[in-house]
Amino acid sequence: MAGGEGDVKLLGLRLSPFVARVRMALDAKDVTYEYVEEDLAAKSDLLLASNPVHRKVPVLIHAGKPVCESRVIMEYVDEAWHSCAPNLLPVGALERAAARFWAAYVDGELFAAWGRVMMAATEEERAGRAAEAAEMVAHLEEAFARCSNGGAFFGGDAVGYVDLVLGSNLFWFEALRRMFGVRLIDERRTPLLAAWAERFGEAAAVNGVVTDTLVGMAVEHAKKLRAAAMTNK
């Protein structure tokens, strides 16, 4: 194990972007860990005891101590395995602040926005919601130009914090494209992000976590969520 700092366990859910980013962060730093898939309809005692406040995945358990909330976990992984390349957060204080800002923007705004695209009841409603999400993605296109400094990733030459936070949503974006033909990142409107998404998909830490099978699972899950929402109307 890289870092040699004791046992690492991750409580997760394959379809969760919050979990996927943590898995990719651990893989990027070559940290060996045990992955435990949770059933959110019957949460394990370990999950409830480890995250009694939110009762959500992911939870990282390192040497018996839990760390909750995906972005907190990523920062923890970066610090606990600081000697293992790559650094997830940039080195400079201003660059770190920018990375945290954009990661919070993805989670606080874009995540809910693409969820609304997925759950729209009519094509007209979906078009409006897709336009809202596209505006957010346009901000991220500008952020990429600034943060990447001409490099391949938000983090520069290597996949970093913002790459993993945004990139962990990409398999859901692909599910939206397959289901509804909605392209949140597209070559015409957001050419930098379109090229970035290609590179991100090829990065070693991403392969194995985000797969075509996972996109298929996301499509099936989205269909179930939509059916449940229609029945509850």
Ligand X SMILES: N[C@@H](CCC(=O)N[C@@H](CS)C(=O)NCC(=O)O)C(=O)O
Binding residues (CB under 6 A) for ligand X: these are 13, 16, 18, 40, 55-58, 69-71
Quick one: which of 91, 111, 110, 137 has its CA closest to 16? 111
Residue with smaller CB distance to ligand X, 67 or 190: 67
Residue with smaller CB distance to ligand X, 70 or 148: 70
Residue with smaller CB distance to ligand X, 103 or 148: 103
Q: How far is the CB of 22 from ligand X (least distance, A)?
A: 8
Region of 36 (left: φ > 0; alpha: ψ -120 to 50; beta: rest) is: beta
Q: How far is the CB of 127 from ligand X (least distance, A)?
A: 26
Q: How far is the CB of 85 from ligand X (least distance, A)?
A: 24
Separation of alpha carbons 212 and 29, rounded Å: 23
Separation of alpha carbons 33 and 101, rounded Å: 29
Residue with smaller CB distance to ligand X, 80 or 148: 80
Residue with smaller CB distance to ligand X, 71 or 183: 71
Q: Where are the beta strands (DSSP E) in the chain?
A: 8-12, 34-37, 59-62, 65-68
Q: How far is the CB of 51 from ligand X (least distance, A)?
A: 8
Residue 56 CA from chain centroid, whole number: 15
Quick one: which of 151, 92, 102, 19 has its CA closest to 10? 19
Q: How far is the CB of 175 from ligand X (least distance, A)?
A: 14
Q: What's the first-to-final CA gap in the chain, in angstroms?
A: 50
Residue with CB nearest ligand X?
56
Q: How far is the CB of 20 from ligand X (least distance, A)?
A: 10
Separation of alpha carbons 122 and 180, rounded Å: 11
